[in-house]
Amino acid sequence: MQLKESLPENANGDIKDINGKVCIFYDGYWIRYYAPVEDNLVNKKNLIESLTRRTFHHTEPGINTPGEKLDMARAAYDKETDLKRKRVNGAMLAGALFNRATDIFTLVVELAEKGVHISDQNELMRECGECFKEALNLGKSVRHYSGEEGIDELWGEPLKAFTMPIAKFYESRYIKIAQTMRDIDLISEHMINTFHHEPPFEGLGNLIRELAEAAKMEAETMRSDQVIFCIWPRFVAAGEDVEGFVPILPDVVNEDLRRHIVDGVRLIKDGKDLLTYLSGVRVPMPRTTQAFLQRCKDYAQTNIKH
């Protein structure tokens, strides 16, 4: 369980063992700690490849354009005039740029392993950096797979891994995970408060609390960590419990109450989905979060007498 603290003796970057789990403190949260791997070309390549796969996993389908199709993607983007279609072409171009950069960096590492060392000023390294930068600039065209909003911070992670020392990149991830945990807490608290005084939804609060705790654990845990075999099932089961919640109906249900309960069930499902999105991307989704919090407020104001 994450422990949220604001005590002055805790400083960002502090590390300690909490109930057998090594944690690092950032912005009020103790987060599962992973020691940075050695900062070398092979480890950086593996990190960039992993981040690139993760980025495409959480973004809209159809944009994972192979690097060898970069020129085709750019030509299509430059030619398109319809703004909605051009946004998608921009996302496809960004995908091609990311893959081209990853391809180049992989080649550089393979050459280094054969004893051919390439400096940071080499044309290949400069092209790699430019591809990452252009992909980042096009990141505003890329949306989360839900279609809810762009996730520029996730899209920028491969570039960060390319330009930062690995230890510094890990630090940036802990900051984003802490911000994500903050939003998970905020959303779950609003959900609980929204339904707290609604008799048909009695018992929902405990299910939401369990989902929020499991979501934070999922957000802080690397997929390569064997503890995921405990955390992932808990997270999935908690989500199923929330989505499968059945309201307790009174003996007499008029049309207004029926519609109110249906709207509540839809709000619960959307909240569960948002917590799932956040735990996966591990970066804030501010626009989607604020829109959902407003929906909770609007729903609470339409409370129907039971």
Per-residue pLDDT reduced to its tens digit, 56-106: 999 999 999 999 999 999 999 999 999 999 999 999 999 999 999 999 999
| Predicted pLDDT at 1 | 47
* Rounded-to-integer distance, Cα 63 and Cα 52, Å: 12
Range of the domain at 83: 41-163
Residue that finishes a domain, picked among 101, 135, 163: 163
* pLDDT over 80 at 251, yes or no: no
Under 8 Å between Cβ of 120 and 59: no
Domains in the chain: how many in total? 2
Under 8 Å between Cβ of 94 and 77: no
* pLDDT over 60 at 8, yes or no: no
In the 8-state DSSP scheme, what is residue 4? B
pLDDT > 90 in the chain, percent: 75
188 and 286 housed in the same domain: yes
* Rounded-to-integer distance, Cα 236 and Cα 217, Å: 12
Q: What are phi and psi of 63, to 5 degrees?
A: -110, 0
Pairing type for strands 29-32 and 15-18 reads: unpaired
* pLDDT over 70 at 6, yes or no: no
109 and 184 housed in the same domain: no
* Rounded-to-integer distance, Cα 105 and Cα 103, Å: 6
Mean pLDDT across the chain, nearest whole number? 91
* pLDDT over 80 at 5, yes or no: no
Residue that finishes a domain, picked among 163, 197, 228: 163
138 and 194 housed in the same domain: no
* pLDDT over 50 at 18, yes or no: yes
Residue 285 domain flag: yes
84 and 141 housed in the same domain: yes
Of 43, 6, 38, nearest to 25 by C-alpha is 6
